């Protein structure tokens, strides 16, 4: 996937006049009219008969309440499907018009959409684009296309996708636990994330390997090739304000300890030149920022703890500080946790979450260039791709969105959500080349309960419930889910806009204890981990669907691991 940025006017600063007309100031101080719009057209993936492309349109003229972008192909390219725009084609001419949710295009604002197409012969990039009839400046890229200089603030030697052409670190501690289970040797060599979930984990807690020990082992595994090490940065003050099972050691106001005792020591180790040949991928603070959107204020899902974290700003400050400091290390690739489709896929959450992420990426000295991408579904169970129904289906006079399961969400699976959310993030100011990771460690939903086709069309609910792979009682259920299975194995570049499928959450590690267990790790008891719990507004007041007899979060849960293998999809051989 190309990671280039649009150069609207080389060596010129863009200034918007009071009338909405954009001007550029050249080095000599003379004002010249700027291009009214710019189009960034990237071919992300291409094969012998088809391709996927991402398009970002920047409006430098007066604000628009609707928009339409047009271009023509020189060859026989055909648009076959798309997202985030209404795409139509007549002969060689293509039109992309706004959806209702992205119709507004401010002066200086951008909007992104993508599509899949077919072709034979050559696949030349269109030479001309018009936005509402006005010709735009074009910056094109992709296979064989031009690239811009590195973005300011980002080290020049990072690769586009750290997973391309690289092995991924196998944690020997997790591997040994997996191999000790009956049949576990089938997956014991899979790469998983290393969780730095408290200060003591940096040097090694409870006899476990510390960060340096993992990095030293990574160098051994690396040999002469490339290797990715996956770290989970997970110790914000007031951590997991809406899920007590994974609360942390730092109190809500201990942002200074987070900076000096947690992030600074991690950075010092990662910056050691001894480890400069490793590609270090960080997942930055799972289950943090989306809480500030969905679980605060007057929302029925609000909690007092999340209101505190929104008021004191320490989630924003902590994430910004981590991105800033870790982003200074040239071989570190920061991926920010972006929840999952069953959390922020609704219209009320989707755009506000992207805006909040931009705020965090601009805090504490960080910039959007400190973010290499985002990760979704970390430690969750959302199905990767629902094949038996789609958001556009209608059954018995009702849209799939009206079903109890979908509940007006705009997304039904993780892949469609991650691809669309990537475009939304670009539209608020993140670089157009950001990539997404999807955690597939526990979203396979195979086994005997996996539907083989669509549900009965007697009602929209029977249709969705009978065909969905995700067998949870409610998509808000997140703790040790009964019936879950291993998902797609870790792999690089599996789909448009996706840098990799990963197992950031090590399968077999508990989400939380099913009853209260005294501990020195700061972890509380959450009813969502109790199989007898009847639910709360965050899961529609449904039963929790959790497995019984679970240990503390992060501790080995043998029964869960065995079930994940049993229900793996693709199945284990």
Question: Among 471, 473, 544, 469, which Cα is nearest to 512's?
Answer: 544
Cβ neighbourhood burial of 49 (10 Å; 0-12, 13-18, 19+):
exposed
The label of the residue with tokens 């020591």 reads 265
Here the tokens at position 138 are: 């074009």
Question: Among 494, 474, 472, which Cα is nearest to 567's?
Answer: 472
Is 40 among the catalytic positions?
Answer: no
Tell me if residue 423 falls in helix, strand or coil: helix
The rounded distance, in Å, linking the Cα atoms of 385 and 505 is 19
Which secondary-structure segment (H or E) carries 118?
strand 110-118
Question: Among 481, 413, 415, 484, which Cα is nearest to 450's?
Answer: 484
* Residues 98/70, Cβ–Cβ less than 8 Å: no
DSSP 390: -
Question: Among 514, 517, 541, which Cα is nearest to 530's?
Answer: 514
**Residues 287, 393, 461, 470: which is the catalytic one?**
287
The label of the residue with tokens 């943090």 reads 288
Phi, psi of 116, deg, nearest 5:
-115, 145
* Residues 460/403, Cβ–Cβ less than 8 Å: yes
CA dihedral (385, 388, 394, 398) in degrees, to 10, reads: -90
**Residues 413, 511, 526, 530: which is the catalytic one?**
511
Q: At what angle do helices 314-327 and 347-360 cross, to 10 degrees?
A: 50
Phi, psi of 414, deg, nearest 5:
-80, -35
Rg over alpha carbons for the chain, rounded to the nearest Å, is 24
Report whether the peptide linkage leading into residue 231 is cis, meaning its omega lies within 30 degrees of zero: no
Is 287 among the catalytic positions?
Answer: yes
CA atoms within 13 A on the CB side of 241: 30
The rounded distance, in Å, linking the Cα atoms of 450 and 471 is 8
DSSP 258: I
The rounded distance, in Å, linking the Cα atoms of 470 and 483 is 9
Question: Among 127, 147, 152, which Cα is nearest to 137's?
Answer: 127
Question: Among 250, 355, 231, 340, which Cα is nearest to 287's?
Answer: 340
The rounded distance, in Å, linking the Cα atoms of 15 and 30 is 12
Catalytic residue list: 287, 511
């Amino acid at each position: 996937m190309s990671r280039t940025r649009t150069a609207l006017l080389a060596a010129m600063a863009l200034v918007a006049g009071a009338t909405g007309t954009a001007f550029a100031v050249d080095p000599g101080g003379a004002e010249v009219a700027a291009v009214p719009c710019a189009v960034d057209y990237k071919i992300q993936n291409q094969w012998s008969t088809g391709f996927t492309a991402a398009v970002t349109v920047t409006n430098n003229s007066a604000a628009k309440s609707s928009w339409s972008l047009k271009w023509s192909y020189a060859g026989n390219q055909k648009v076959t499907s798309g997202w985030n725009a209404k795409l139509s084609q007549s002969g060689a001419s293509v039109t992309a018009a706004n959806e209702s949710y992205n119709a507004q295009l401010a002066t200086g604002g951008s909007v992104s959409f993508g599509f899949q197409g077919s072709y034979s012969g050559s696949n030349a990039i269109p030479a001309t684009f018009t936005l509402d009839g006005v010709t735009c400046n074009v910056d094109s890229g992709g296979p064989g296309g031009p690239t811009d200089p590195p973005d300011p603030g980002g080290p020049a030697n990072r690769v586009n996708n750290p997973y391309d052409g690289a092995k991924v670190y196998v944690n020997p501690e997790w591997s040994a636990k997996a191999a000790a289970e009956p049949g576990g040797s089938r997956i014991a060599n899979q790469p998983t994330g290393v969780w730095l979930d408290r200060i003591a984990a940096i040097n090694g807690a409870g006899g476990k390997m510390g960060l340096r020990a993992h990095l030293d082992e990574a160098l051994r595994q690396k040999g002469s090739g490339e290797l990715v090490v996956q770290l989970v940065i997970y110790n914000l003050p007031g951590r997991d304000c809406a899920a007590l099972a994974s609360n942390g050691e730092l109190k809500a106001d201990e942002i200074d300890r987070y900076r000096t005792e947690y992030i600074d020591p991690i950075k010092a180790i990662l910056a050691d030149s001894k480890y400069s040949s490793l590609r270090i991928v960080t997942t930055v603070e799972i289950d943090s920022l989306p809480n500030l959107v969905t679980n605060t204020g007057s929302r029925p899902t609000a909690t007092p703890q999340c209101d505190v974290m929104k008021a004191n700003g320490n989630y924003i400050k902590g994430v910004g500080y981590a991105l800033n400091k870790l982003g200074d290390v040239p071989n570190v690739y920061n991926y920010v946790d972006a929840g999952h489709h069953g959390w922020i896929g609704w219209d009320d959450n989707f755009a506000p979450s992207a805006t909040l992420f931009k705020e965090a990426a601009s805090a504490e000295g960080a910039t959007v260039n400190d973010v290499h991408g985002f990760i979704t579904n970390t430690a969750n169970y959302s199905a990767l791709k629902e094949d038996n129904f789609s958001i556009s289906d209608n059954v018995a006079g009702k849209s799939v969105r009206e079903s109890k399961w979908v509940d007006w969400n705009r997304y039904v699976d993780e892949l469609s959500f991650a691809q669309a959310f990537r475009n939304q993030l670009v539209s608020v100011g993140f670089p157009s080349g950001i990539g997404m990771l999807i955690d597939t460690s526990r979203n396979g939903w195979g086994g005997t309960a996996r539907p083989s086709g669509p549900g009965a069309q007697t009602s929209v609910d029977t249709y969705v419930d009978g065909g969905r792979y995700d067998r949870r009682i409610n998509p808000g259920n997140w703790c040790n889910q009964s019936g879950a299975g291993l998902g797609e194995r870790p792999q690089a570049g599996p789909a448009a806009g996706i840098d990799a499928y990963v197992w950031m959450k090590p399968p077999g590690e508990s989400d939380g204890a099913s009853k209260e267990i005294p501990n020195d790790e700061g972890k509380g008891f959450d009813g969502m981990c109790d199989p007898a719990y009847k639910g709360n507004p965050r899961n529609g007041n449904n039963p929790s669907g959790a497995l019984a007899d679970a240990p503390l979060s992060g501790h080995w849960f043998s029964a869960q691991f065995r079930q994940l293998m049993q229900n793996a999809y693709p199945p284990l051989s």
